[in-house]
Every structure is written in C-alpha cells, then in structure tokens.
Amino acid sequence: MRFSGLTSRIAGKSADSWETHYEALARSQAGEDIIMLSVGQESDQLTDDRIVEEAVQSLRSGRHHYTPVQGELALRKAIAARHSELTGQYANEDQCSVFSGAQNALFAVSQCVLEHGDEVILVEPYYSTYPATFSCSGATLVSVRPSSNMQINPEDVTGAITDKTRAIVVNSPNNPVGSVYTREQYEPIVRACSDRKIWLISDEVYLEMLAPEDRVSPAGLPGADEICVTVSSLSKSHRMTGWRVGWAVGPRELMQHLYNLTLCMIYGLPPFIMDAATFALQMDSNIADIVRESMDRRRKIVAGLLSGLPNVRILPASGGMFAVLDVRNLGTGSMEFTRRLLDQYRVSLLPCDGFGDSGEGLVRISLAVEDGLFEEACQRIRAFVLGLSAIRTTNQDG
C-alpha cells in the first residue's frame, strides 16, 4: 500500500537516533543490568502524592467525560498565571491552549503557522523531534549552527531570514546542550521577527528549573506579544512526564486556529488529568528547585569523572537535564559510540546525530537518575572511553 509523503518527513536520522535507547529499554525490562541515561526522565522519582491524590479524587468524583477542547478554564487560568510569572509577559486564559504534552503543542503550532513553501529556522543542536515536528507541515528546515561554545549567535539567526521565513524556533535551556540564552541574545531576534512578521516559537520546558534570576523568555521582551508562541509543560518541572500535559501561550487568533485543530486531533484532555495539572500549578511547591539542584549536582559529578579524559570533552552547560560529551576525536561516530557502550558497559546514552549536523559526534547523557547510579554510569563511561583511547593510541603508533 502507498503512504503519504508525510511518512518520509517524519522518518530519518531523528527517528534512528532512538534505536539504541529502545533496544536498551527492552533489554533492561528483560532484566539486564543497564543504566538508562538516554531519556530525560527521573524514573526513580514519583509525581508528588498530592497531585496524584487530586487526580484520583477527580476520577472518583465522576470527572471522566468530554472536556472543553482548548482545556478546562481553571487550568488555562493557572497556566496564564504561571506563564506571566515565568516570562514577564501578561497573558490571560484566552491566550492559552492545553495539549497532550509540549511535543503535541509544538506539532499543533507548527501545523497552524507553517506550510509548503515556507522556511522555518532551527538553531542547532535542536531536540531530535524538531525536524519531523516542523517539516511535517511541508515547510523547509533552515539550520543555523551554534557558536563554538554551543551558544546562539543572534546575527547568524537573523542573517538566515529570507522572504520565505515564516517561523524561528528557539529552545532555552537547550536540549541537548543545556545552553541558556540571555536577554541580549533574544532582543535582536524578537526585533527581527516583529519587524518582518515572523513567528517566534519558544520551547521553554526547562525554563522553570532555572533559578528565578536566570530565567529569560523572549515572550517578555518588547514587540513579542504579536509574534511569540511559548510552549511549555509540567513534565520536567513537576516530574509529570507520563501525565502528558503541555500548553501553548500566544496571540488569541492563533488560539482559535489551535482550537479548530485540537477539535479534529485529540478533542481535549481527560478531565481528571487537567484537575491534577491545575492543582500542580497552584500548589505550594518547590519541586522545580529540587529538580534543578539534583541536575546541578550531577553536572558536577559528570564533569568530575569525565573531564580530562583523552579524546573527549564535556561541553559546558547551564541548565536542562543533560550533559553532552564530545566524542569526535575518538574516531567513532556517536551512533557507534552509544552502540558499543551499551554492549560492553551496559549504559544507554543518546547519540546526537538526530539533533542537527552540529550534533554529529556528540552524545547526550541524561542527568535524571539518582546520584549513586549516575556516578556508577559515569565510571563505566570513563572506563569505556579510556579503553577506546588506548586502542586508538595503539593503532596510531602502529
């Protein structure tokens, strides 16, 4: 049978980069001693009991019918309040749409603002689902490489704008490299988007995990109201990955289009999930602070154990849930590195080949397992790298 052209746009390197992860997951579930560092999820941590209880009570009270397609009013109000607090941009509930996770929100926004003939600018390295998410619309991807320290260079971004550019996508703190963008970096981009009526799509799922003084969102800058779409979720900040609650905040006209799309796509989220999400946003909590402290601690562990090794380099990072190891000088591609690491040392990492050309030769290390296990994983990676380096040296000498 024939399939649509969309199927080729959603396949490729980005999808391939997850192969090792899924194999590791299957082997782990079959009982093998594998440390999973290939996904950004604190598998050893549970969602706060109070949030779980709210969902249970909601379900028991009969909250299991159809819901407003754009999201329950109470949840949209809570999202608007949280968005205003985090970004500095005032928003109300009419500017918020609820989705089944930030990934779903990005996909929906992409569908509503992009189409064949358009160009969308992505800053590398970008999250591995972005190529499929944004090219699915038919738009052409335009990649902008980062600076040598994996930072965004605003002149490179604005320099990539053409008459066909319809959207620019930014992600800070960045997945995978953890770079955090500043107001000075965002300002020229917001200004260019505002002047040329280009959408600025900002993926901010890791923003709340930064210290308040470090949080910068383009949505809060002058000129952003008309052009900026902010996408976020509860997955990382509230340890709620499996609940699949995310949102988009943007101009009201966009929300109307997102409503129409949601109506024919997911038709709203389960009410008990939305009740729990509302509770999570309104409860007195420091979960995001705890997550940030855990990630910062493990960033130090990985730097301590893997810095100074021959032929590899840990990239500097300020936020997010990952460390990135540059293995280009080892002579193995990142796919082969992760494959052999899994087979020989039973640690699962994610190759960054699917994160754009500048991700080739990089591997992503999740910081989301408890300290003892994380340190053990770093020791295994260290032994693997030392072994590979020794072989490489022997071969060069020979």
Q: Which stretch binds another protein (CB under 8 A): 150-158, 261-269, 304-312, 339-347?
A: 261-269
The region, left, alpha or beta by phi > 0 then psi within -120 to 50, assigned to residue 94 is alpha
Query: Which amino acid is present at 390?
Result: A
Q: Tell me how far, at minimum, the Cβ of 138 lies from another protein, in Å.
A: 9
**Identity of the residue, 228 or 367, whose beta carbon is nearer to another protein in the bound complex:** 228
- At residue 248, the 3 state secondary structure works out as strand
Interatomic CA distance for residues 65 and 328, integer angstroms: 53
* 253 contributes a contact to another protein by CB under 8 A: yes
* 192 contributes a contact to another protein by CB under 8 A: no
Q: Select the residue interacting with another protein from 50, 60, 164, 197 (CB under 8 A).
A: 197
Structure tokens at 343: 């087979």
- Buried residues in 350-367 as b, exposed as e (16+ CB within 10 A): bbbbbbbebbbbbbbbbb
Q: Select the residue interacting with another protein from 25, 141, 142, 261 (CB under 8 A).
A: 261
Interatomic CA distance for residues 115 and 9, integer angstroms: 13
**Identity of the residue, 89 or 151, whose beta carbon is nearer to another protein in the bound complex:** 89
**Identity of the residue, 120 or 274, whose beta carbon is nearer to another protein in the bound complex:** 120
Q: Tell me how far, at minimum, the Cβ of 114 lies from another protein, in Å.
A: 6
Q: Select the residue interacting with another protein from 61, 260, 329, 393 (CB under 8 A).
A: 260
Q: Tell me how far, at minimum, the Cβ of 35 lies from another protein, in Å.
A: 43
Q: Select the residue interacting with another protein from 150, 224, 254, 306 (CB under 8 A).
A: 254
Interatomic CA distance for residues 240 and 254, integer angstroms: 26
Element (H, E) at 33: none
* 9 contributes a contact to another protein by CB under 8 A: no
State the binding string over 88-127 for another protein (x if CB under 8 A, else -): -----------------------xxxxx--x---------
- Buried residues in 249-274 as b, exposed as e (16+ CB within 10 A): bbbeebbebbeebbeebeebbbbbbb
* 251 contributes a contact to another protein by CB under 8 A: yes
**Identity of the residue, 201 or 302, whose beta carbon is nearer to another protein in the bound complex:** 201
Q: Which of 374, 280, 277 is nearest to 321 (CA)?
A: 374
* 343 contributes a contact to another protein by CB under 8 A: no
**Identity of the residue, 254 or 342, whose beta carbon is nearer to another protein in the bound complex:** 254
Where do the H-state alpha helices sit in 307-370? 334-345
* 226 contributes a contact to another protein by CB under 8 A: yes
* 183 contributes a contact to another protein by CB under 8 A: no
Q: Would you list the DSSP string of 170-221? A: EESS-TTT-----HHHHHHHHHHHHHHT-EEEEE-TTGGGS-GGG---GGGS
Query: Which amino acid is present at 378?
Result: C
* 195 contributes a contact to another protein by CB under 8 A: no
* 30 contributes a contact to another protein by CB under 8 A: no
Q: Which stretch binds another protein (CB under 8 A): 52-60, 249-257, 280-288, 293-301?
A: 249-257
Enumerate binding residues for another protein (CB under 8 A). 111-115, 118, 137, 166, 197, 199, 226-227, 251, 253-254, 257, 260-261, 263-264, 267
